[in-house]
Structure 1
Amino acid sequence: MDAQDMGRDLADVLIGEDDIRARLGEIAAQVDADYAGRDLLLVGVLKGAVMVMADFARALHGPAEMDWMAVSSYGSGTKSSGVVRILKDLDRDVTGRHVLIVEDIIDSGLTLSWLVANLRSRGAASVEVMALLRKPDAAKVTVDVKYVGFDIPNAFVVGYGLDFAERYRNLRVVGTLAEHVYSS
């Protein structure tokens, strides 16, 4: 889905497709150098990281295995329940592995902080984080993020894996929604 396909639903494009692809290539080159000769396991956080993981993994020049987790810190509403639940766990054992968590976006950092601690407790040799987007103004806890694509303002964004009511994940850019989409 291109930006023009959204018509009036898209208020603004924050990051274009070419910029995303270029930045993922830069991060992949750094990861290739940092993990040369190591057994790298990419752990994507569902559902949002699907697009990031696919393009990032293809930009790598070294081998990397992929696995997926789905975690949630939300109940039925929009407020955090304070409890993180694993909705889908890893298929692989991380003991002794170098794990790189691949995220679409970091908001408060609460769930990610829990995930990093959880994977370390499982005996991973190392656990680092790569996120396409980070909202520094939304952080509630400090999470060490080794690789960041873009810092963005504290706005609700969609596209490139990020959704609103399960829509707009396939938008090729990152943008903000027009108010009429979410106010009705």
Structure 2
Amino acid sequence: MINILDKTFVPFISRDTIENRIAEMAALISKDYENSCPLFVVVLNGAFLFASELVKKIPLSCEITFIRLSSYVQTESTGTVRQIIGMEETMTGRDVIIIEDIVDTGLTMTQLLKQIEVLAPKSIEIATLLHKPEALKTPLEMRYVGFEIENKFVVGYGLDYDGIGRNLDSLYVLA
């Protein structure tokens, strides 16, 4: 059990389980893009740990860029997505893989997909560590999903509660 600010969290998914699943995802991506040089678009801040572990296990030539979007205040989605840092890389004709920490409502990802689609990539796929199907408010197809979880608030492995808890090497769920 851990305390972050005014909340208590309990263990949810261990580091070993996470790392094993990331290795499986990396193998799938490596196979799917063996004749490509994909562009990985990492959604900050939450996806940085997941992205780091994932791309280290992908032996392909690739490019990595970052975008920062925000839709959360404390434990709740605001429903409004703000772009804080944008992309500058050319995406025309490229295979793009968005790396996200968690997809819950799908609102942030839907907006990001629209922004990327107008840049005329060859393909766009999503790789997310976590997905909350119960929370989805808009249809969304995701090719690479680490874990489907219940609609509960989690921290660790890049995910935070008011900026705290990203550095935890396992996932914890709100008690």
Tell me the TM-score normalized by structure 1. Answer: 0.86
The match for 1:161 is 158
Checking the alignment, whether the CA contact within 8 Å between 2:11 and 2:170 is kept in structure 1 is yes
- Superposed CA RMSD in Å reads 2.2
The CA deviation at 1:65 is 1.0
The match for 1:182 is none
Write the deviation string for residues 98-147 of structure 1: whole angstroms up to 9, x where unpaired.
10000000010011011112101111111100000000111101111000
The match for 2:144 is 147
Checking the alignment, whether the CA contact within 8 Å between 1:134 and 1:151 is kept in structure 2 is yes
Within 2, Cα distance between the matches of 1:110 and 1:93? 24
The match for 2:89 is 92
Checking the alignment, whether the CA contact within 8 Å between 1:75 and 1:81 is kept in structure 2 is no
Tell me the TM-score normalized by structure 2. Answer: 0.91
Which of the pair is proportionally richer in helix? 1
Report percent identity of matched pairs: 35
* Unaligned residue ranges in structure 2 (runs of 5+): none
Checking the alignment, whether the CA contact within 8 Å between 2:155 and 2:166 is kept in structure 1 is yes
- Residues 1:15 and 2:10 aligned together: no
Which has the greater radius of gyration?
1
- C-alpha change, 1:78 and 1:176, in structure 2 (3 Å) is closer
Q: SS in structure 2 opposite 1:13?
A: strand
- Residues 1:129 and 2:126 aligned together: yes
The CA deviation at 1:77 is 10
